[in-house]
Chains A and B, each alone.
Chain A
Amino acid sequence: MKFVDPRHDCPRDPWHTVGGEDGPLVTITPASHLLLTLPQWHSVRATWPVTKPVAVSVPNDTDIEELAADLPQLAMVALQFPKWTDGRAYSQARLLRSRYRYRGEVRATGDVLVDMAPLLARTGFDVAVLRHDQSPEAAANTLAFFGQGHYQADVAEHRPLYARNA
């Protein structure tokens, strides 16, 4: 799992948004590594060139099913945690991976705390853009505690404990 520290990693993180997220739609010129809002993506998806990696940021109350047909075009899906205790994006990520077999990047954005890392890793996220006050080192440390695995199946381990032992 990769942790992006927005204070320091931004220059190295290729993804960037296009202004006007809350205002009227802006005209979008295809370019590499654009992270679009859902309405922005809908306005360009029919003509987006396959050579330009593109991503979309999906609110946590969006039915992920609506994105299914677009997934082959998307290099990355950014899921949102408006508050870290709002767990809807865990289900979105799990469905992206387990049901729609999405193989692009799934990143966690918003109010992302280091202590979410174990849950993010197990539900299919591979990148977490941490909240500004969170440390990537501390996040990595939180992944160290359950070395033998967990009881139930998840995205990283498809079989529950009893099936692994069988």
Chain B
Amino acid sequence: MYQYTEFDRRFVHQRAAQFRDQLTRNLAGALSDDDFRPLRLQNGWYIQRHAPMLRVAVPYGELSSRQLRQLAKIAREDDRGYGHFTTRQNLQFNWIPLVKSADVMDKLAAVDMHGIQTSGNCIRNITSDALAGVAPDERVDPRPYCEILRQWSTLHPEFAFLPRKFKIAVSGAVEDRAATAWHDIGLHLLRNEAGEVGFKVLVGGGMGRTPVIGTTIRDFVPWQQILVFIEAIVRVYNRYGRRDNMYKARIKILVKAEGQKFIDAVEKEYRDILNLDTDGDAQIVTQAELDRVSACFTLPEGVAARASTGDGAPAEAPVAYRKWLERNVHGHKLAGYKAVTLSLKRAGQAPGDITDRQMELAADLSDRYSAGELRVTHDQNLLLPWVRESELYALWQAARDASFATPNIGLLTDMIACPGGDFCGLANARSIPIAEQLTERYADLDELYDIGDIDLHISGCINSCGHHHSGHIGVLGVDKDGSEWYQLTLGGSDGSTLSGGLAAAVPGKVIGPSFAADEVADAIEAVIETYRSQRVAANERFIDTVRRVGIDPFKTAANKVRRSTAREAA
């Protein structure tokens, strides 16, 4: 993974010192709460329902065991002993008092971490494929490019106050595991016919009130010019994006409203930077810089292709282990290695939640089995990228002891859920109780396996942090007359192969009026049962059945479970 230089290290310490100064002035009354707000947001500090929330950046999801131990220490000493991993590969704390915030930033800086641009109307933490650098279907390792983009976007002086937040996701594999079509900018690394590396660039994807799939603005931008091209996009957005209405301020609205005019403006800006600006060509990434950064992303020490020697399992290994191999263990580009997901979806804990002790156990597992590296996945799990096949059985036993071995990756209970109304000041409804009910209801592994691959995504409000639009089943919390209601959508897709590929990325369709809180789990069960009765073969997956038969049979079945909302639906 990326190794901080002295410059990088000083930089995060300087940022922490700058934040301490701002906090001190705020606490002394010299900087008003209103004026402090955008400044603290750009360091990851929200004011939430109970206390400030801190969102810690995990750049493109890469984490070391040392960093995870420090996060555990912060959870224990400054929070209430746990954290929450998000779909954008970050970690959130919920209970740190604001007066301690500057100390926490110092603790993060001590392990090369920070909260820079994890919130606010700026370029957010860049996300990527959790299998970057290890996936067998990878065309180009996206991590060096993610790091170059991270550096370019960090405290970019022109783009700190954009019309709205701005999210970039990068994928370098055949399979899009980063939901790129749903981002303000989605980047696909690929090689052209001449074998040169470049990016296909999508722009204007996003969730929220107006779900939009990104538009391809360029099929190929040479890697050397990617910063210039993105600078052109963001400058056009900064100048012309709407600022009169925060619900119409994302770049997707500008792209939709202007269409080809937007694309022409970006192409002109791109040419102007290179042809007209003082040292415009200094933005062209040099081979030397790519080489310097890429050198951090070679194989970790002690990792090398090796002959497969079996997984170390006894002949009569338990069924649970076989299921874990099937769901939680992934192919690897290096012979003799696998990538392994540590499931953070288990009974008794909210999706993506992790205690300080579990963080330490995960750090131990990564030291013992994965060269001290971990990844945070878009689906709110942890992943060990460098596991020897010969150690799989030993890892499974250790992961099981640490409650990380639920063999449910990609299945119904491996759901995405935002923190919802239990924590979030924006939420209209709670997400966690819905997730809990479904986790309890589908505790039976045989049933879960029979249902098969499915993406269930739960958001507590239209801000869509739980990505409900892209769920095969989406749950959206809405507020009516001060009580919690839930809208169900079907057939959404994140653009992964399972969901029909990038071209099939689409928001789900709403099935009727919202359900009452006590009806949602029943409605989802009715939808699942409809699928099981409608599928033509055991291997027809949920999303394929929905696409084949349409949403009506599901809607009819879900309507039958309505009790309090029965009249409204009729």
Question: Would you call B238 and A98 a contact (CB within 8 A)?
Answer: no
CB distance B286 to A163 under 8 Å? yes
Contacts of B162 in A (CB 8 A): 87
CB-contact partner of B157 in A90, A92, A115, A166, under 8 A: A90
Report yes or no: A101 in contact with B158, Cβ–Cβ below 8 A. no
Bound-state CA distance A98–B235 (Å) is 13
0 or 1 for each of B149-163: is its CB under 8 Å from A? (1 = yes) = 001111111111110
- Chain B residue at minimum C-beta to C-beta distance from A113: B35
- In the assembled complex, the CB of B302 is this many whole angstroms from the nearest CB of chain A, namely 30
Contact B21 A141 (CB under 8 A): yes
Partner of A145, one of B14, B280, B283: B14
Secondary structure at the B interface, as helix, strand, loop or mixed, is helix
**Which chain B positions have C-beta within 8 A of A123?**
157-158
Q: Which residue of A lies closest to B276 (CB)?
A: A99
Give Cα distance in the complex from A122 to B279, angstroms. Answer: 15
Interface residue ranges of A77-133 to B (CB < 8 Å)? 84-88, 90-92, 94, 97-99, 101, 113, 115, 118-119, 122-123
Q: How far is the CB of B220 from chain A (nearest CB, A)?
A: 23
CB of A152 within 8 A of chain B?
A: yes
Q: Which of B14, B153, B161, B285 contacts A87 (CB 8 A)?
A: B161
Query: Nearest CB to that of A100 among chain B residues?
Result: B276
Q: Is the CB of B282 within 8 A of A87?
A: no
Q: What does the 1/0 interface line of A56-95 toward B look like (CB < 8 Å)?
A: 0000000000000000000000000000111110111010
The count of chain B contact residues (Cβ–Cβ below 8 Å) is: 46
| A151–B117 alpha-carbon span in the complex (Å) | 15
Q: Is A98 a contact partner of B277 (Cβ separation < 8 A)?
A: yes
Report if A5 contacts B (CB, 8 A).
no
Q: A86 and B282: CB pair below 8 A?
A: no
Chain B residue nearest in CB terms to A166 = B288
Chain B residues within 8 Å of A99, by CB: 272, 276-278
A42 vs B381: C-alpha distance when bound (angstroms) = 60
Interface assignment of B17: CB less than 8 Å from any CB of chain A: yes
**A72: min CB distance to chain B, Å:** 17
Please state if A152 and B151 are interface contacts (CB–CB under 8 Å).
Answer: yes
**Contacts of A115-166 to chain B: CB distance below 8 A:** 115, 118-119, 122-123, 138, 141-142, 145-148, 150-154, 158-163, 166
Which residues on A sit within 8 Å (CB–CB) of B15? 145
Partner of B238, one of A85, A91, A150: A91
Whether the Cβ atoms of B152 and A151 lie closer than 8 Å is: yes
Interface size on A, residues (CB 8 A): 38
B472 → A minimal CB distance (Å): 38
B99 touches A (CB below 8 Å):
no
Minimum Cβ distance to chain B for residue A32 (Å)? 30
| In the complex, B548 has a CB within 8 A of chain A | no
- Please determine whether A162 and B286 come into contact, CB atoms closer than 8 angstroms: yes
- Write the B224-250 contact mask toward A (1 if CB under 8 angstroms, else 0): 000100000001001100010000000
- Cβ-defined contact, B278 with A161, below 8 A: no
Please give the distance in Å from B165's CB to the nearest CB on chain A: 13
Contact present for A94 and B158 (CB under 8 Å): yes
The minimal Cβ–Cβ distance linking B115 to chain A, given in whole angstroms, is 16
Most buried by B among A86, A88, A122, A142: A88
Q: Which residue of A lies closest to B293 (CB)?
A: A162
- What's the minimum C-beta distance from A130 to chain B, rounded to whole angstroms? 12
Q: How far is the CA of A162 from the CA of B161 in the complex (A)?
A: 25
- Most chain B Cβ neighbours within 10 Å, of A85, A141, A147: A85
Beyond known contacts A99-B278, A151-B151, A162-B285: 13 more, CB 8 A cutoff = A85-B161, A86-B161, A87-B161, A90-B160, A115-B31, A123-B158, A145-B14, A145-B17, A148-B14, A152-B151, A152-B227, A159-B279, A162-B292
> Which B residues are within 8 Å of any A CB, using their own CB?
7, 10-11, 14-15, 17-18, 21-22, 25, 30-31, 35, 38-39, 121, 151-162, 227, 235, 238-239, 243, 272, 276-280, 282-283, 285-286, 288-289, 292
18 chain-A/chain-B pairs, Cβ below 8 angstroms: A85-B38, A87-B121, A94-B158, A98-B277, A118-B157, A146-B155, A148-B10, A150-B155, A152-B151, A152-B156, A152-B227, A153-B279, A153-B283, A160-B152, A162-B285, A162-B288, A162-B289, A166-B289
Please list the 4 inter-chain residue pairs (A to B) with the smallest Cβ-Cβ separation, ordered nearest first: A87-B161, A122-B157, A158-B279, A162-B289
